[in-house]
Amino acid sequence: MYISKYNTMFNVQDKMVLFNPLSGAIDAITVEGVELLEKIKQNPTGNFTHDEKQLIDLMLERGYLYKKEEDQTKILKETYECFLQERKNTPMNFILSLTYACNLRCV
């Protein structure tokens, strides 16, 4: 089991939120979920209870966990290739930003 290096946890009011920008997933996470991630970090191949396995399956589906690191790398490469293709098909834009001191007398 591999925990995504893109996972970020932060507090929003009184809840813990887990965010992964690679998968686009954002979820409220329980204390049990945080403890499970710590357990996986300590022992990725450990024995898990039925409830933990259900949570692991959900985290695999949402992109917080991967079966192996190569799975995440593959998704990252695919995402980057899509980005490059989209960038190739999008015309380049230029933005001219003037300051308040500009009076356009140079034109």
Comparing 56 with 96, which gets the higher pLDDT? 56
Chain-wide mean pLDDT for the chain?
92
pLDDT tens column, 20-50: 999 999 999 999 999 999 999 999 888 899 9
Position 52 pLDDT exceeds 80: yes
> What are the structure tokens assigned to 20, written together?
């992964």
Cβ distance 63 to 4 under 8 Å?
Answer: yes
The share of the chain scoring above pLDDT 70, in percent, equals 99
Q: What is the pTM of this model?
A: 0.78
In terms of C-beta distances under 8 Å and separation of at least 24 residues, what long-range contacts does 42-45 make, across chains too? 44/1, 44/2, 45/1
